Amino acid sequence: MPDSNRPYRVIISGGGTGGHIYPAVAIANQIKALHPDAEILFVGAIGRMEMTRVPEAGYKIVGLWISGLQRRLTLDNLSFPLKVISSVRASHKIIKEFKPDAVVGVGGYASGPLLYAATARKIPALIQEQNSYAGITNKLLAKRVNKICVAYPNMEAFFPAEKLVLTGNPVRSDIMDSHLKRSEALEFFNLSADKKTILVIGGSLGARTINQSIAAGLEQITKAGYQLIWQTGRAYYPQAQELEAKYKEGVRIFDFIRRMDLAYAAADVVISRAGALSISELCLAAKPAILVPSPNVAEDHQTKNAMALVQQHAALLVRDQEAQQQLIPAALRLAENEQEQQRLAQNIRKMARPNAAADIVNELLKLIK
């Protein structure tokens, strides 16, 4: 039981991709909304994107020397046991100094050592699993933590049923009212109100197949009279910039889009990977979407995420290996078909869970109390 005279103290740990980081920040924001004096510390992995994204969101973060196991033999794999021991020790030190009332793990490398150390000290712990197929870190932690908040039903295959709470994925609150910002969005991206806009997002790290498909089909998109907002990820951005110079009119290319609320507001059709966060945002923004699941993820979980929508007629699917032939024709067909856009938007809206962050924090506060 925490000292009632001092503010709540919570550690949130995990990261690696936007799919882990943005739910973590949304949870932190919700804690602050309910308890403005709460003290929140993030713990991430040194060198990963959370080390810059979390401070940008206004929170302090400490880094652990930890990385994942590679599928092939590498020097990183040889140092993995040393990294785990080092990170668990560092986690014990962080916990001893910060004295949290509870800890939250959102998946990713850093959440393993931190939650292992916290649960060894009997500190209340909650994990949040974003995907329909559980990540390895969360599966390993399941027996140690008190509660497991999930975004999809039927997660008993991975976790103890008595610990599960179906909450959905927390997303940035500004996306919830993106439908009110269309004129602001078109002005922000310098786009025309008379043309439809296709938004392309390959996830926070980019998506090679989607990028190659869009690059090859850029002339078709602009000739058909559509505008484009395209997040390429850092690696592909220099090549894409050359294309932007060629197609100046109505093509906006970014390595990373910070104002995703305005990107969704401007979009009539969205092409996206099927990461859990992207899907949760699409549900809240209620946008007609074509999902291209990444094949480079554990147990093909993005396809499972996408099929949960496709089976409800809430999104369209183009498989990664077929994208170069099928993605542009599918996008142009959808952009032309307003009836299909409305059907997809109505169905995806039904799958939104706008109270996810509040529900997760409610579970967390129950553990503290």
Instruction: For residue 72, say whether it is annotated as part of any ligand binding site.
Output: no
User: Among 180, 43, 155, 24, which residue's Cα sits nearest to residue 98?
Assistant: 43
| Residues 6+ positions from 226 with CB-CB distance below 8 Å | 195, 196, 197, 198, 250, 332, 335
**How many other C-beta atoms are found inside a 10 Å radius of the C-beta of residue 195?**
15
* Beta-bridge mates of residue 42: 12, 61
What is d(CA 271, CA 316) in angstroms, rounded to the nearest whole number? 10
Cα separation, 292 vs 174, in Å, equals 25
Between the two ends of the chain, the Cα-to-Cα distance in Å is 6
4 is in an annotated binding site: no
Q: Is 302 marked within a binding site?
A: yes
Please choose, from the candidates 78, 14, 79, 75, the residue with its C-alpha nearest in 3D space to the C-alpha of residue 45.
Answer: 14
Residue 96: alpha-carbon gap to chain centroid? 30
204 is in an annotated binding site: yes
Element housing 183 (H / E): helix 182-188
**Residue 250 annotated as binding site:** no
| Torsion from C-alpha of 162, 120, 276, 208, nearest 10 degrees | -150
Cβ-contact 110, 44 below 8 angstroms: yes
Q: Is 136 annotated as a binding residue?
A: no
* Nearest-10 Cα torsion for 143, 145, 150, 156: 20
Binding site members: 17-19, 131, 172, 204, 257, 302
Binding site members for UDP-N-acetyl-alpha-D-glucosamine: 17-19, 131, 172, 204, 257, 302
